[in-house]
Amino acid sequence: MASLAAVLAASLANATPLMLAALGETLVERTGRVNLGVEGMMAVGAAMGVLAGVETGSPAAALLAGSLAGAVLSLIYAVAVVILGADQIVTGLVTVFAGLGLADLIGLATHGAPAPPLPRVKGSVDAVMALAVALAVVEYYLLYRTWLGVELRALGESEEAAESRGLRVVRLRVAAVVAGGLLAGLAGAYMSEALSYGRWYSGMTAGWGWIAVGLVILGYWHPLGVAAASLFTGALFAARPLLPSLGIPAEIADATPYLAVLAALATAATLAPRLGVTPPASVWRED
């Protein structure tokens, strides 16, 4: 029972940064844009979180600093794409490279010193884990039970129709992008605080930002679906150290979560049309 509880706790811990980043990207895509810069925002959040934790000795300050770093970096995308009309794919890639470079510079300032670890309740659950799960429910309520959610989803379907109804297109999209950046930064800070025990190292995010973007698709752009996809992927990462004991080569074991997500995405892409599930129309079409 203890080992099962440990596996479940590890699954939730691994799922938490994925869920936070994916829920943030869900908001962005619901407004009709795709932000591929999630990986860079997570990296900046991770580095800034460690630096703030080292300087202040406070895990809360580390999480806050990481969140704000992700939000600030997201403004590059918001200004370029939403306000100036730049290509969203190119801008997202630029944001990734900018974020990774900035993260390495910030990480050097920590001099390898660890930030204080995030305290856990009964050794297995922490406040950010609970926040991520609660946020999925809150985002579901926001999108499907409030007028603001109706406006966000309408914008994702047709910008022209939204404008004709007097919706604040630029304001809504900028707010969604910044909220997505804030959550991506928090996801990165959580990775450094909880998953790497307060230490920064280059390449820490290891493609998890890209996985988060994929989880939005795997969850069919629905907050609860995204949460379920994140928990599934978190379980794969938690089980990865156990695979070599089953005779699976270490190289394949390391790649298993990534391969499983790719296979799940391919399956979801095939099933989606048959189930009548479609992405927000503006995601794949520039209005």
Q: How many angstroms from the chain centroid is the CA of residue 117?
A: 21
**Topology at the third CATH level for domain 2-284:** ABC transporter involved in vitamin B12 uptake, BtuC (1.10.3470)
Per-residue pLDDT tens over the stretch 263-278: 888 887 777 777 666 7
Per-residue pLDDT tens over the stretch 185-210: 999 999 999 888 888 999 899 999 99
112: which 2 tokens? 């390898």
Residue 164 has pLDDT above 60, yes or no: yes
**What sign for the dihedral angle of Cα 55, 59, 64, 66?**
positive
Per-residue pLDDT tens over the stretch 221-265: 999 999 999 999 999 898 888 787 777 887 788 888 888 888 888
More confident: 47 or 6: 47
* H or E segment and range at residue 138: helix 127-145
Beta-bridge mates of residue 121: 125
Question: Residues 17, 39: contact at Cβ < 8 Å?
Answer: no
Beta-bridge mates of residue 125: 121
